[in-house]
């Protein structure tokens, strides 16, 4: 996880009053990643939710695609200050997945292929706020953007929308993920500019 992508290219457009403070709007979809891009064959891909008792609920790729899907159109905001407006995705709501899981947890630790982790309050994955997304702009989600599937939590900074997602660990107490352990904010609300611990 010591390799970082070199940032993004392209020109930004003018700042928009509809975006969070400190952000600028871009038409590009910048690629920023910690570490190399994992390549996961679909016949070996799976997504697992593990509750606080250790019980696992797992979906294969065909099982995920068989679930009811949604096509949210949302704005996304990166902690590095770019925002992309009106992005359209397709995926399965976490409400659909979590309704099959018995839990008393308040927190979630997201795990990705490649070893990346990030933490969220469980309530931020519910009530139509989060998806396991596998299409972007009508096309299969490209590996550099987290394909075959990524978490999509658009109301938080985009590092919380973990690429190459493989599972969620439900916890009774909060546990920091990769960037949070390196000094990034535990929650990451772009409207409150929660970029770093103490913000």
Q: Which of 1, 39, 51 lies closest to 177 in space, CA to CA? A: 1
Q: Tell whether the model's pLDDT for residue 171 goes beyond 80.
A: yes
The 3-state DSSP class for residue 163 equals coil
b vs e for 39-59, b when ≥16 Cβ sit within 10 Å of the residue's Cβ? ebeeeebebebbbbeeeebeb
Give the integer Cα–Cα distance in Å for 106 and 8: 35
b vs e for 136-167, b when ≥16 Cβ sit within 10 Å of the residue's Cβ? beeeebeeebbbbbbbbbbbbbbbbbbbbbbb
For the segment 52-78, the average pLDDT, to the nearest whole number, is 97
pLDDT in the model for residue 168: 98
Q: Tell whether the model's pLDDT for residue 14 goes beyond 90.
A: no
For the segment 67-93, the average pLDDT, to the nearest whole number, is 97
pLDDT in the model for residue 16: 58
The first and second tokens of residue 195, run together, are 């970029």
pLDDT digits (tens, 9 = 90+) for 123-163: 999 999 999 999 999 999 999 999 999 999 999 999 999 99
pLDDT in the model for residue 34: 67
For the segment 11-40, the average pLDDT, to the nearest whole number, is 77
pLDDT digits (tens, 9 = 90+) for 175-194: 999 999 999 999 999 999 99
pLDDT in the model for residue 17: 59
pLDDT in the model for residue 3: 39
Residue 94: enclosing H or E segment and its boundaries?
Answer: helix 94-98
pLDDT in the model for residue 199: 83
pLDDT in the model for residue 32: 73
pLDDT in the model for residue 10: 41
Task: Please provide the average confidence, as pLDDT, over all residues in the chain.
Answer: 91
Give the integer Cα–Cα distance in Å for 159 and 153: 9
pLDDT in the model for residue 6: 42
Give the integer Cα–Cα distance in Å for 32 and 136: 17
Full set of structural domains in the chain with CATH: 44-192 (3.90.420.10)
The first and second tokens of residue 69, run together, are 């899907």
C-alpha dist (Å) from residue 190 to 10, 25, 127? 22, 14, 19
């Amino acid at each position: 996880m010591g390799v970082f992508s070199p940032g993004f290219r392209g020109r930004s457009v003018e700042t928009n009053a509809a975006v969070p403070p400190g952000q600028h709007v871009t038409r590009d979809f910048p690629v920023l990643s910690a570490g190399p891009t994992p390549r996961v064959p679909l016949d070996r891909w799976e997504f697992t939710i593990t509750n606080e008792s250790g019980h696992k609920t797992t979906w294969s790729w065909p099982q995920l695609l068989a679930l009811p899907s949604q096509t949210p159109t949302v704005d996304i905001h990166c902690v590095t200050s770019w925002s992309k407006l009106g992005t359209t995705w397709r995926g399965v709501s976490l409400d659909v997945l979590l309704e099959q899981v018995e839990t008393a947890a308040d927190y979630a630790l997201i795990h990705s292929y490649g070893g990346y982790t990030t933490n969220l309050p469980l309530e931020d994955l519910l009530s139509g706020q989060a998806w396991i997304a596998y299409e972007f702009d009508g096309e299969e989600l490209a590996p550099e953007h987290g394909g075959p599937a990524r978490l999509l939590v658009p109301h938080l900074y985009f590092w919380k929308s973990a690429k190459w997602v493989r599972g969620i660990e439900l916890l009774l107490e909060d546990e920091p993920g990769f960037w949070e352990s390196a000094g990034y904010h535990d929650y990451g609300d772009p409207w409150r500019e929660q970029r770093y611990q103490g913000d």
